Amino acid sequence: MTTYGSEEFQRDLGISVPRETIARLETHERLLTEWSERMNLVGPREIELFWSRHALDSAQVIQFAPEAKRWIDLGSGAGFPGLIVAAFLADRLDTAVHLVESTGKKAAFLRAVAGEAGLPVKVFNQRIEDFGAGEGPYDVVTARALAPLNRLIPYAKPILDRGAQGLFHKGADLDAELAAAKHVLNGGASGIRYRADVLESLSDPRGRIVRITKAA
């Protein structure tokens, strides 16, 4: 069986990743393996896919906002994409990645990785609805496998309305999600309209990244 690791990850990402960044990602992978043996963070199969699926899928969003310094990840779970983004930004000045996770055990995991890997991360153990605009303004808001767009955009609305761009991972059913979110994109009850741009995914030919921004 062919193994997919950090070298293949860099090849498919299309950039040479600093050794320090790879070391941070390896810390994330190791702690994910250890913690998942004690609590159901992700299944064994998902740990095997750490580099090929989760890390690559997460890291690619940085290319869409290369200058962004303040990131907020909603429903961070096992740290995708939030911890991955933080691993890449850790050597840059004045960066901050905030993670919102309502499950206490998952929030504890995120703090453990951030502490051991030396990441510029702050974890908020609370519901997204209670987080609101958090400690914004932010440059980018992310979410992966959290909710369909018609629910996700309202979750992110307090952050988007202060000028952040949303970069949301989506799968093969994106067209149906966009159709269902038409009312929300057109302003819904608030009257604030949003633009949705569909970007290609590096990690999955059926996947897409949807960029949501407040319409001018």
- The model's pTM: 0.96
Q: What is the mean pLDDT of residues 143-155?
A: 96
Q: How many CA atoms are closer than 13 Å to the CA of 184, on its beta-carbon side?
A: 19
Q: What is the mean pLDDT of residues 117-146?
A: 97
CATH topology of domain 6-214: Rossmann fold (3.40.50)
Structure confidence at residue 45 (pLDDT): 87
At residue 1, does pLDDT exceed 60?
Answer: no
At residue 44, does pLDDT exceed 90?
Answer: no
* pLDDT bucket at 188, cuts 50 / 70 / 90: confident
Structure confidence at residue 18 (pLDDT): 97
Q: What is the mean pLDDT of residues 117-132?
A: 97
Q: What percent of the chain clears pLDDT 90, i.e. is strictly above it?
A: 88
- Judged by average pLDDT, the poorest of 109-118, 174-183, 187-196 is 187-196
DSSP labels, 104-170:
HHHHHHHHHHHHHHT--EEEE-S-HHHHTTTT---SEEEEESS--HHHHHHHHHHHHTTTPEEEEEE
Amino acid identity, residue 202?
A: L
Q: What percent of the chain clears pLDDT 70, i.e. is strictly above it?
A: 99
pLDDT mean across residues, the chain: 95
Structure confidence at residue 2 (pLDDT): 63
Structure confidence at residue 40 (pLDDT): 82
68-103 per-position pLDDT tens digit:
999 999 999 999 999 999 999 999 999 999 999 999
**What are the extents of the domains in the chain?**
6-214
